[in-house]
Amino acid sequence: MSAPAEVERIARAALTWVAEPGDPVMGALLSICSPAEIVAALTEGRMPRRSAVPGGGVPPGSGVPPGGGVPPGNGGPLGAGGPLGGGSLSGVRSATGSGYSGALWEGPAQPSRSPRLDRALRRWSARLGEVPSETELAAWWRDGIRLVIPGDTEWPSQLDVLGEARPWGLWVRGQADLRFACLRSVSVVGTRAATGYGTHVCGEMAISLAEKGWTIVSGGAFGIDGCAHRGAIAVAGTTVAVLACGVDRAYPEAHAGLFRSIREQGALVSEWPPGRMPTRPGFLVRNRVIAALSRGTVVVEAALRSGALNTARHAYDQGRPLMAVPGPVTSQQSAGCHEAIREWGAVCVTSAAEVMELLEFTGDAPAGPQRGPVLARDLLGPVDTRVLEAVPAHVGKGPARIAIAAGVDFDTVMRSLGGLVAAGFVERCDRGWRLRRQPQQRAPQQRAPQQRAPQQRAPQQRAPQQRPAQQRPAQQRPAQQGPAQQGPAQQGPPQPPR
C-alpha cells in the first residue's frame, strides 16, 4: 500500500471517532476537503484547506497525501510524529486551548462564515483525544477487524447513492468480501416482536434466497433480523449484519453466538469504531446503510412505529426496489407492511421467487404467475363443457333435452356424450344420462386396541380347617369315664339306654 493511501486510511479511521456517522456537516466538508486535511486542521487548530481531489481522492503519482498534507515521516500532522503516525492523540490540545479561533475561510476559494461549521469544528476537535494509536489499530487488525474506505477494492460502490451521507469508512469483521457479497444481496428487515407467522415466512424466504446464492443483509437484532441471518446460516449462505455499535461488541448480548457464525460465513459491518456502544439514534442512522448495501429491501413484519419502516423509507428514497410481505389485517405487527404497500407503492411478495423476479438479476428464472391445481374439467373444450353442465346429477335426462339445455344440436350432443362417457364424467341410467357417481371410498377403520382393566381379585378368606377326631392329638380327645380309664380292656356290646 502506498504512503498516500495509508495516510488516507488512517485519516478516515480518525474521522470515525471524531464525527458521528451521517453527520451532514462532515459530509459536506468531505466534498471539498480530503480527510487527511481535515484531521490535520483539527490537530493544528486551523481551518481546513480545499483539496485538489476532494473526498479523499489522491492524484495518481503525486506521492503526497491529499489536501496538501505532508508525506509521512516529514513531521506533518499525519506523519511519524503526528497523532496517528506513531503515538496517541491524548496529548493533543483540546479545541478550547489549541489556538483554534473559529475564524472561517476567507476569499473566493473558501466558504462563507457558518456558525454550524464553527460548532462542528469545535466539537470534532474536542474528540481528538479518543483516537487510538497505530498500535491499537494494528491490534484490531490482528483480531480480524479491518477498515474499508472509498477507493478500496472491497468498497461497495452502491453506497455512493447516499451522496454526502455516504460513510467515511466501514469497519468490517468477517471472512466475506464485502463488495463481492453485496453484489447480489437483498435486505430482509422487520420488527423485533415477531410473530410465529413472521418468523416462519422470514425463515423460508431467507433459506430459499441463500440457496440461490443471494446474500442476506439485516441488522442483527431480535425478531425478524435474527431469523433472516439464521436462515442464511442454516444453508451455508452468506449474510451481512450492519450494526449500530462497534464490530467487537455483541449487541444484543444474546446474539453473541449468532454474530460468531456471521463472522464465519459473512461479515459484521459498522460505521462506528471498535469499542463504541449502541445508542437509540444510531439504529436509525445505520438503516440507510442497510438499504443502500443491497439491491432491494423486503419488510416481513413491521408495526406502524417499527424501525423497519425507517429502512423501507430509505430504500424508497434511494430508488431501490421495496417489497413487503402481507399479513393478517388484525395483526398490528403487519400494519406497517400494509402501509408501505398502500402509501409507498411497495410490491406485495409472498415467496423468494417473487423477490428474485422483482430484482431481475441475470440468471434467475422468472417466477411466473401462480395457478391453482388443474382439474380434469379444465381440459374440456367449450362445447363439451356446456354439455356436461346440462347433464343432471341425480335424475336422468334424455339427449334431446340435454341438447336444448346446452344449446347444441342432437348430433353434437351425442358425440359429446360419448366422449364424456369415455372420460368418466357421465353414465347412462333408466331415464337417460346423468353425472357419474364417484364411489365413496371409506377410510379403513382402525380399531383401537382394547385395554382391559386389571381384575382385582378379592382376597379369599379361608375357613379354619377342623381336623377329624382321629387325627387330633391324644390330649385333645374327650376324656372317657368308667372302664375306659382303666386300660385297654375289652368292652362288650353297647347297652340300650335306660
Domain ranges of the chain: 3-134, 157-359, 376-430
What size, in residues, is the chain? 498
The torsion angles phi and psi of 356, rounded to 5 degrees, stand at -65, -35
Q: Do 327 and 337 form a contact (C-beta atoms < 8 A)?
A: yes
Q: Do 27 and 165 form a contact (C-beta atoms < 8 A)?
A: yes
What does the block give as the cell for 490? 375289652
CATH of domain 157-359: 3.40.50.450
pTM: 0.69
Q: Which of 301, 308, 303 is nearest to 287 (CA)?
A: 308
CATH of domain 376-430: 1.10.10
Low-confidence ranges of the chain (pLDDT < 70): 1-3, 52-113, 361-372, 374, 439-498
pLDDT at 71: 32
First to last CA, the chain: 151
pLDDT at 136: 83
pLDDT at 62: 38
Strands 426-429 and 432-435 turn out to be antiparallel
What does the block give as the cell for 88? 496517541
pLDDT at 5: 77
Helices then strands (H, E): number in the chain? Answer: 16, 11
pLDDT at 396: 87
Q: Do 62 and 328 form a contact (C-beta atoms < 8 A)?
A: no
Q: Do 340 and 322 form a contact (C-beta atoms < 8 A)?
A: yes
What is the per-residue burial (b if ≥16 Cβ within 10 Å, else e) of 67-99?
bbbbbbeeebbbbeebbbbeebbeebeebeebe
252 prior amide bond cis, ω within 30: yes
CA count, 13 A, side-chain hemisphere, 334: 17
Q: Where are the beta strands (DSSP E) in 301-412?
A: 322-324, 347-348
User: Which stretches within 74-195 are classed as H helix?
Assistant: 115-126, 134-142, 178-182
272 Cβ neighbours under 8 A, 6+ residues apart: 16, 21, 171, 243, 244, 245, 246, 282
